[in-house]
Amino acid sequence: MPDVSGNFKAAVFYNKHTQMVLSLNKQKEKDWTNLIKQEAKSFGWKFKSFFTYKSAKDFFYDVTFYTSGNANLISGSLSFKPLIVDEIFWDIIGLSDNRKMPLSLRGNGAFVVSSKDVFDFKLKVDPYNLKSDIDSLFDRINIKVGDLQSTITNLDSFVSFIEQHPSKRSEWFDVDMLIVAFIVQNKYDKALSLLDYAKKNRGMCNWSFGDKDFYDLAIEYCEIHD
C-alpha cells in the first residue's frame, strides 16, 4: 500500500493553519468594528450592530460598515431619507406605534422604507494606522452629509433627487420610496400611477400582510384620503 501518512499530516497542518487564520481574521474584524463604534460617537453618530445612524433637520442618515480582515478592507454605504417617509409608511400598513420606537429601527427594521444610497466606499486600511483611516472615512462621510443638507432640505427636493439619480441596486427601492413620498405630498394620482406600474411589473412587494401587501394597502390609503 502507498504511504499516505505524509499527505494526511500535510492536510491536518493545512486545516489547522486555515482555522487559525480564520480565527485571527474574525478577531481582527471584531476589533475593527469596536473601533468604528468608538470613533462614530466622536463624529456625531450612534452605532448599532453593523451601522451608524443619526437624524438631522428632519432626515435620517445611516452608514453601513462591513469589515474584511483577510482583505484589510472596510466597505459600506451612506444613505438617507426623510423621517416622515417611515411614519406615513407605518400609517399605511397599520403600524403607527412604530413612531414611538428607537430611531435605529429606521435603519434595520423589517418594516421600513429603504433609505436612498448616495455614497459607496471601499477603504483599504493599514492595520497599523487603522484609527487614522477610520477617522478620515468619517470625515468624508460627514462632508457628504453636509453637502446633502445644503442641497436637499425638504421632501420636494428629496423626490427630485431620487428622480434624477436612479438606484444602481434596484428600481424598486426608488419606486417604494416615491410611492410613500407622493402620498406624503398628497399627490395621490402619482402614487396610484406608480402603484399600478408596480402591481403590473413586480406583482407583490416584500411586505405582506395576510392576503394583502403594501401595494394593496397603499392603494386603499390613497382611495380613502384622495
Cell numbers describing residue 85: 417617509
57-69 residue pLDDT tens? 999 999 999 999 8
Residue 41 has a pLDDT of 95
**Could you give the CA distance from residue 51 to residue 43 in angstroms, rounded to a whole number?**
14
Residue 88 pLDDT > 80, yes or no? yes
Q: Which of 103, 101, 100, 50 is nearest to 81 (CA)?
A: 103
Cell numbers describing residue 164: 434624477
Q: Which of 153, 181, 212, 158 is nearest to 87 (CA)?
A: 181
Is 32 in contact with 50 (CB distance < 8 Å)? no
pLDDT band of 7, cuts 50, 70, 90: low
Residue 19 pLDDT > 80, yes or no? no
Residue 23 has a pLDDT of 56
Residue 108 pLDDT > 70, yes or no? yes
139-152 residue pLDDT tens? 999 999 999 999 99
Bigger pLDDT: 198 vs 28: 198
Residue 9 pLDDT > 70, yes or no? no
**Could you give the CA distance from residue 220 to residue 92 in angstroms, rounded to a whole number?**
9
- Mean pLDDT estimate for the chain: 90
The amino acid present at 102, given as its one-letter code, is P
Helices (H), the chain: 5-42, 83-93, 105-108, 130-151, 155-164, 171-184, 188-201, 214-225
159-182 residue pLDDT tens? 999 999 999 888 999 999 999 999
| pTM listed for this prediction | 0.87
204-223 residue pLDDT tens? 888 888 899 999 999 999 99
* Domain spans of the chain, in order of start: 1-82+101-150, 154-226
In the block, which residue shows the cell 469596536? 34
Q: CB 12: neighbour CB atoms within 10 A?
A: 10
**Mean pLDDT in residue range 12-17:** 45
Is 60 in contact with 71 (CB distance < 8 Å)? no
24-52 residue pLDDT tens? 678 889 999 999 999 999 999 999 988 99
Alpha-carbon distances, residue 108 vs 91, 105, 164, 195 (angstroms): 18, 5, 26, 25
The amino acid present at 107, given as its one-letter code, is G
Tell me if residue 140 falls in helix, strand or coil.
helix
The amino acid present at 18, given as its one-letter code, is T
pLDDT band of 183, cuts 50, 70, 90: very high
